[in-house]
């Protein structure tokens, strides 16, 4: 069994169960898919995309060199194939011929060079330079010290050579990012920062119209290099309120919808809606993170353990989240490659928590300094924080709750201004590096991901070794060992693993949902595969 087989089987079973015998029907062409979005995409310029909503729409307009398949393996997209040099630094991509942009011009290797250089150019102000700056000479170009990026070579119109400063085994994952989607330079230059309103790519759907805060229309690209999509149109509707989305879905005005918080059980027990419910685990972990640089959690493992044993994860999962998530035992969610099912983690044990509090020097919570749990303003975070507050009070630990909007909150967390804060993490790519190294390596303390400000040289060494490893089994062993040490150190209170729970109309076919498909935006689901049986 491969490392992804379990995920695929579980998702397949869920989906086939929900859709029953209609699964086998023949695909049909035509129809409009009415797709809800919770917010107006901030941009459709790939170089500026940082959010899942923009990514979801852009992924239908543009293509990259590579993409994920149904098993979350990296497979060719615009590239037909690629080679990796023996020193693991140089990737040579052989591009598909005859692929055309929506305005009719053929896409060649030079377009990829122009695209990558545009992302890196200082005037673009792209927030995602980090997804391509491992190329040789990229940093110098970014700082305006070089006229070109040395690591990009156009060998011929259909051959592109990318050379990295250092070997990086996850480089292909970075190329799946929307910031690395190819765009035509002449159109980008013509519109400048207004390219977001005139996006032109090579994707299965071409941009037609965008009425901001209302809707976006894409129509099928009949000349798409993989064959025209089944759907005629994608009609994205921007509906900020989750209750409105559900009512529109019930009225048959949307092809799918998420489920408002607090309504999961009523949906589950509704005979009609229950048939349309699709649930699957996604690659995400929700936690409350300690600040490992500040007392009382600094250098007090027993206190961190006490809080981990004091939290009833099952109550959070079942009562607040209505059973739609899974209590967490560690960092890596179950569907992430490298997840360790034998990890013991922490279970609810108030007796043990009391003993650990004594060992920590705070019997019955006495003498603890004032503690505040910070979270970004959101109903679910608020309810979880209140339950955590009540559970800790049973041990005599009093905590205050502090809610801030995202912009203020993330700045405070970045600056190490909290002692306790909540944070969820959804995978950027399906590799343990994205959870363990990004969120726990000492070089990433602060805004780069390690908001718990956790430092452990042994863990750093294991992660460094695992990140450059070439043999998956060896990498897996190293990551699991690192995760064991991390969980033992307990820089987080591990709360739950995320899942996606959505409603789809019975007519929707061709879905290929994976653990990377976020709720509502269902990217990277390729909409070119979706069709409507009506």
Partner 1 sequence: MLAFVIRRLLTLIPVLVGVTLVIFSLSYISLGDPVRAMMGQRGDPEVIAQIRRDYGLDQPLHVQYARYIGRLLHGDLGRSYRQHRRVTDLMWERLPATLRLAAAAMLIAVVFGCTAGILAAIKPNSWIDRLVMVLALLGISTPVFWSAMMLILLFGSVLRWFPISGYGSGNVWYLILPAVTLGALQTGYIARMTRSSLLDVLRQDYMQTARAKGLRDIIVLCKHGLKNAAIPVVTVIGISFADLLTGAPLTEMIFAWPGIGRLMVNAVANRDFPVVMGCTLVFALVYALANLCVDLLYAYLDPRIRYDRED
The pair of three-digit structure tokens given for residue 209, joined into one six-digit string: 């119209």
Q: Which SS3 state, helix, strand or coil, does residue 492 take?
A: strand
Q: Rounded to the nearest whole angstrom, what is the least distance from the CB of residue 446 to partner 1 in the complex?
A: 7
- Per CB under 8 A, contacts with partner 1 among 81-140 are 122, 125, 127, 129-130
Query: What is d(CA 148, CA 25) in angstroms, rounded to the nearest whole number?
Result: 52
Helices then strands, counting H and E runs in the chain, come out as 17, 19
Contact flag: residue 257 with partner 1 (CB under 8 A): no
- Per CB under 8 A, contacts with partner 1 among 181-210 are 193-194, 196-197
Q: Rounded to the nearest whole angstrom, what is the least distance from the CB of residue 461 to partner 1 in the complex?
A: 22
Q: Which is nearer to partner 1, 28 or 198 (CB)?
A: 198
Q: Which is nearer to partner 1, 21 or 123 (CB)?
A: 123
With 0-12 / 13-18 / 19 or more C-beta atoms within 10 angstroms meaning exposed / middle / buried, residue 470 is exposed
């800790």: which residue's tokens?
A: 392
Q: Which is nearer to partner 1, 249 or 290 (CB)?
A: 249
Q: Which SS3 state, helix, strand or coil, does residue 45 take?
A: coil
- Per CB under 8 A, contacts with partner 1 among 346-405 are 404-405
Tell me: cis bond preceding 296? Omega within 30 of 0 counts: yes
Q: Which of 79, 160, 316, 438 binds partner 1 (CB under 8 A)?
A: 438
Q: Which of 151, 327, 449, 510 binds partner 1 (CB under 8 A)?
A: 449
Site string for partner 1, 222-251 (x = CB under 8 A): ---------------xxxxx-xx--xx-xx
Contact flag: residue 263 with partner 1 (CB under 8 A): no
- Per CB under 8 A, contacts with partner 1 among 28-57 are 39-40, 42-43, 45, 48, 50-51
Distances 94 to 79, 101, 178 between C-alpha atoms, Å = 6, 18, 20
Contact flag: residue 253 with partner 1 (CB under 8 A): yes
Distances 349 to 69, 142, 325, 343, 391 between C-alpha atoms, Å = 42, 52, 21, 17, 11
Say how many residues touch partner 1, by CB under 8 A: 53
Contact flag: residue 214 with partner 1 (CB under 8 A): yes
- 444-450 contact pairs (CB < 8 A, 24+): 446/414, 446/415, 446/416, 447/414
Q: Which residues of 402-434 are buried (b: 16+ CB within 10 A; e: fewer)?
A: eebeeeebbebbeebebbbbbbebbbbbbbbbb
Q: Rounded to the nearest whole angstrom, what is the least distance from the CB of residue 481 to partner 1 in the complex?
A: 24
Closest CA to 22 of 454, 408, 518, 533: 533
Q: Rounded to the nearest whole angstrom, what is the least distance from the CB of residue 179 to partner 1 in the complex?
A: 12
Residues that bind partner 1 (CB under 8 A): 39-40, 42-43, 45, 48, 50-51, 122, 125, 127, 129-130, 142, 193-194, 196-197, 211-215, 237-241, 243-244, 247-248, 250-251, 253, 404-412, 414, 423, 425, 438, 444, 446-449
């Amino acid at each position: 069994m491969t490392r992804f087989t379990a995920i695929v089987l579980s998702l397949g079973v869920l989906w086939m169960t929900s859709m029953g015998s209609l699964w086998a029907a023949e695909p049909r062409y035509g129809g409009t898919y009415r797709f809800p979005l919770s917010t107006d995409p901030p941009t459709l310029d790939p170089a500026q995309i940082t959010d899942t909503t923009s990514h979801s729409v852009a992924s239908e307009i543009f293509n990259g060199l590579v993409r994920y398949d149904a098993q979350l393996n990296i497979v060719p997209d615009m590239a037909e194939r690629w080679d990796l040099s023996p020193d693991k630094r140089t990737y040579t991509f052989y591009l598909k011929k005859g692929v055309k942009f929506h305005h009719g011009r053929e896409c060649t290797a030079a377009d990829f060079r122009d695209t990558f250089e545009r992302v890196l150019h200082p005037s673009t102000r792209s927030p995602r330079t980090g997804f391509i700056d491992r190329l040789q000479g990229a940093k110098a170009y970014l700082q305006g010290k070089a006229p070109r990026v040395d690591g990009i070579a156009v060998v011929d119109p259909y051959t592109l050579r990318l050379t990295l400063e250092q070997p990086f085994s996850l480089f292909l994952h970075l190329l799946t990012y929307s910031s690395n989607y190819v765009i035509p330079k002449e159109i980008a230059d013509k519109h400048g920062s207004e390219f977001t309103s005139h996006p032109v790519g090579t994707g299965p759907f071409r941009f037609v119209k965008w009425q901001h805060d209302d809707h976006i229309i894409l129509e099928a690209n009949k000349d798409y290099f993989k064959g025209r999509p089944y759907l005629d149109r994608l009609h994205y509707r921007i509906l900020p309120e989750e209750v409105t989305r559900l009512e529109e879905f019930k009225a048959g005005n949307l092809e799918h919808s998420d489920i408002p918080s607090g309504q999961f059980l009523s949906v589950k027990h509704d005979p009609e809606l229950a048939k349309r419910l699709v649930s699957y685990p996604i690659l995400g972990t929700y936690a409350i993170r300690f600040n490992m640089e500040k007392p009382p959690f600094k250098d007090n493992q027993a206190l961190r353990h006490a809080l981990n044993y004091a939290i009833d994860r099952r109550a959070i999962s079942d009562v607040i989240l209505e059973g739609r998530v899974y209590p967490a035992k560690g960092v890596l969610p179950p569907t992430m490659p490298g997840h360790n099912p034998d990890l013991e983690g922490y279970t609810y044990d108030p007796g043990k928590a009391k003993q650990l509090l004594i060992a920590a020097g705070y019997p019955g919570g006495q003498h603890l300094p004032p503690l505040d749990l910070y979270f970004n303003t959101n109903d679910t975070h608020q309810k979880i924080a209140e339950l955590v507050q009540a559970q800790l009070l049973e041990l005599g630990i009093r905590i205050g709750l502090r809610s801030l909007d995202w912009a203020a909150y993330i700045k405070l967390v970045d600056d190490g201004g909290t002692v306790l804060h909540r944070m969820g993490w959804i995978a950027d790519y399906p590799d343990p590096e994205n959870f363990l190294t990004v969120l726990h390596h000492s070089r990433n303390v602060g805004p780069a991901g390690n908001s718990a400000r956790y430092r452990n040289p042994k863990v750093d060494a294991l992660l460094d070794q695992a990140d450059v490893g070439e043999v998956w089994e060896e990498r897996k062993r190293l990551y699991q060992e690192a995760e064991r040490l991390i969980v033992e150190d307990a820089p987080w209170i591990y709360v739950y693993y995320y899942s996606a729970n959505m409603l789809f109309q019975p007519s929707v076919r061709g879905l290929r949902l994976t653990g990377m498909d976020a709720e509502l935006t269902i990217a990277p689901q390729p909409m070119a595969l979706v069709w409507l049986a009506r």
